[in-house]
């Protein structure tokens, strides 16, 4: 079992999260346990209020759980309390985020949106831009390197956002509705890209989605209902 935990990139054990107390207490997560391994692309599904976004926020170290244990990329980051004081640095080092709407900074061009993450991590300006261009090339949007986000199409902007998520070579990529703003063709391209990333970079992708047309592209589907994993749901 211990060996297995080491192999998993995301290891969530009996994580619970409640908001409020007494009569107003809401149990957003009820002792959820799951593991995601390198190369896997998984999705969290469920109706509104089922706890999938809360779980994504917990894995993204944005929301502190109420109890449980969590390991990310081999490091125990939560065990009844955060074990790291600087969670932003933890996110910068270990996690890449892909948003429903690309969330690129409107005042930076495509290259600088990617390079910013590298510079925040301490990479020099020239090296950061070089690496950003490599990533844009990898995601086949290098021809739009100098374009401002407002000038990019939805698909191009999402690719730049994925490049930004990959900038620090994180092994965990969290995606919040990554295809919701895209048409079927572009959604398929993005899913192919995520699959390619997981395979080539030995990373795992954890996505929250409602997009049924891409369900078959995930390795596992975690169904959440009332804050708990639904054991009866198909995976």
Partner 1 sequence: MNLAWRDVRHNLLRFVLTCFGLSLLMGVVLSMMGIYNGLVADALTIVRAPAVDLWVVEDGTRGPFAESSRIPGDTRAAVSRLHGVGSAGSVTYQTVEAATGLGKLRLYVVGYELGRPGAPEDLVAGRPIARAHFEMVADVRTGLEPGDRIRLGRDDFTVVGLVANHVNSGGDPAVYITLGDAQTLQFELAPPAMRVQRQRGAAASDTDTINAVVARVKPDIDPSSVAEAVRRWKHFAAMTQIEQETILTRSVVDRARRQIGLFMGILLAVSAVVIALIIYTMTMEKLKQIATLKLIGAPDRTIVGLIVQQALALGGIGWAIGLVLLMAVKDHFPRRVVLEPENALALAGIILVVCLLSSALGVRAALEVDPATALGG
Number of residues that bind partner 1 (CB under 8 A): 32
112 binds partner 1 (CB under 8 A): yes
CB of 30 to partner 1, least distance (A): 20
Residue 142 Rama label (left phi>0; alpha psi -120 to 50; beta): alpha
**Smallest distance from partner 1 to CB 205, Å:** 16
Note whether 169 binds partner 1 by CB under 8 A: no
What does the alpha-carbon distance between residue 15 and residue 17 come to, in Å, rounded to a whole number? 7
Can you list the positions of beta strands (E) in the chain? 8-19, 26-37, 41-45, 67-72, 75-79, 95-98, 172-176, 204-208, 220-225, 228-229
Longest CA–CA separation in the chain, Å: 56
In the complex with partner 1, the residue whose CB is nearer, 13 or 119, is 119
By CB under 8 A, name the one of 55, 115, 157, 163 that touches partner 1: 115
CB nearer partner 1, residue 5 or residue 16: 16
* Helix ranges (DSSP H) in 167-230: 184-200
Chain Cα centroid distance, residue 84: 19
Quickly count helices (H) and strands (E) in the chain: 7, 10
136: left (phi over 0), alpha (psi -120 to 50) or beta: alpha
Choosing from 83, 105, 127, 233, the residue that interacts with partner 1 (CB under 8 A) is 105
The region of 1-9, 88-96, 186-194, 215-223 touching partner 1 under the rule CB under 8 A is: 88-96
Which of 37, 130 has the CB closer to partner 1? 130
In the region spanning residues 41 to 60, those forming contacts with partner 1, defined by CB under 8 A, are 53, 56-57, 60
Which residues lie near partner 1 (CB under 8 A)? 53, 56-57, 60, 62-63, 88-89, 91-93, 97, 99-101, 103, 105-108, 112, 115-117, 119-121, 125, 148, 164, 176-177
């Amino acid at each position: 079992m211990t060996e297995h935990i080491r192999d998993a990139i995301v290891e969530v054990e009996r994580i619970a999260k409640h908001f409020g107390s007494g009569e107003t207490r809401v149990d957003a997560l009820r002792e959820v346990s799951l593991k995601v391994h390198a190369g896997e692309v998984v999705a969290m599904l469920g109706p509104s209020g089922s706890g999938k976004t809360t779980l994504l926020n917990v894995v993204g170290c944005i929301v502190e759980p109420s109890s449980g244990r969590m390991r990310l990329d081999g490091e125990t980051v939560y065990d009844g309390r955060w074990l790291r004081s600087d969670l932003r640095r933890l996110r910068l080092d270990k996690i890449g985020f892909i948003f429903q709407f690309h969330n690129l900074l409107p005042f930076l061009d495509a290259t600088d949106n990617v390079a910013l993450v590298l510079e925040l991590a301490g990479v020099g300006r020239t090296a950061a831009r070089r690496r950003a261009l490599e990533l844009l090339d990898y995601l086949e949007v290098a021809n739009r390197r100098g374009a401002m986000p407002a000038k990019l199409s939805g698909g191009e902007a999402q690719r730049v956002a994925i490049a930004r998520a990959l900038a620090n070579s994180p092994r965990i990529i969290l995606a919040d509705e990554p295809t919701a703003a895209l048409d079927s063709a572009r959604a398929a391209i993005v899913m192919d890209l995520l699959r390619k990333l997981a395979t080539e970079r030995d990373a795992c992708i954890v996505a929250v989605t409602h997009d049924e047309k891409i369900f078959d592209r995930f390795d596992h589907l975690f169904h959440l209902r009332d804050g708990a994993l639904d054991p009866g749901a198909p995976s």
